[in-house]
Amino acid sequence: MTSAQNATRERILASADQLFSKRGYAAVTLRDIASSIGIKHASLYYYAPGGKKELYVAVMERNFLRHRQGLTDAIVRAGVDVRMQLYAVADWFVTQPPLNLSRLHEADMDDLGSDQADALMTLAYDAMRTPLRSIFEPAAAAGLVQIHDFNVAALALVSLLQSVHNVPAHYPMPVRYQIGHTLVDMLLDGWRTR
């Protein structure tokens, strides 16, 4: 496989990622993906002989692994303070396309085989849980936070932070970062007055 092959496949996967993440499996056509990078849809079968399903699975695997790596790196760079680590997590999700876990296992997975769907969902959940556990576990051990179930907390944090993608489209990036930090503050400090 030449590097030119890899480059084209890379452009395909990157564009498909944007489209699938935004609209979901059913609402994206192979012609959408192909035209977004200036080729015809039939050419996609040269890079993904399995067709739309193979493309979707490949894209989502990449997607989840990127999240896992991106979150891990962001947390490490943020230092040892829990709030700064969670700000870094929020910043990461602001820069990423929406991660619609609910749509993922309620709709998109119906078009895949159940074994492939299970494997993908496990990959997705691990991509969130593993990095976030590296925040929760030391903080809980040090008595800084009180979290009973790390898995529920991880899903809750991810679900909460996705609401930054629900603000009107014209909101500029700086405001989106600000909202992300506000959401973290909510979860960390709580609404109740102390």
- Residues in touch with its own copies (CB under 8 A): 22-27, 98, 100-103, 105-107, 110-111, 143-149, 152-153, 155-156, 158-160, 162-163, 165-167, 179, 182-183, 186-194
18 counts as binding DNA under rule CB under 7 A: no
| 31 interacts with, out of DNA, its own copies, none, CB within 5 to 8 A per kind | DNA
Our CA dihedral for 144, 148, 153, 156, rounded to 10 degrees, sits at -120
What does the block give as tokens for 143? Answer: 């008595």
Which CB atom, from 58 or from 109, has the smaller least distance to its own copies?
109
| 65 interacts with, out of DNA, its own copies, none, CB within 5 to 8 A per kind | none
Site size with DNA, rule: CB under 7 A: 23
Taking the C-alpha atoms of residue 90 and residue 1, their distance in angstroms, rounded to an integer, is 38
Burial status of residue 120 (CB atoms within 10 A of its CB: 0-12, 13-18, 19 or more): buried
In 3D space, the residue among 159, 158, 176 whose CA is nearest the CA of residue 167 turns out to be 176
Candidates 41, 103, 165, 181; binder of DNA (CB under 7 A) is 41
- Please identify, among the stretches 36-44, 88-96, 127-135, 154-162, the one whose residues bind DNA according to the rule CB under 7 A: 36-44
Count CA within 13 A, CB hemisphere, residue 68: 14
Burial status of residue 12 (CB atoms within 10 A of its CB: 0-12, 13-18, 19 or more): buried
171 counts as binding DNA under rule CB under 7 A: no
- Give the nearest distance from C-beta 149 to DNA in angstroms: 39
- Give the nearest distance from C-beta 101 to its own copies in angstroms: 5
| Other CB atoms within 10 Å distance of the CB of residue 133 | 15
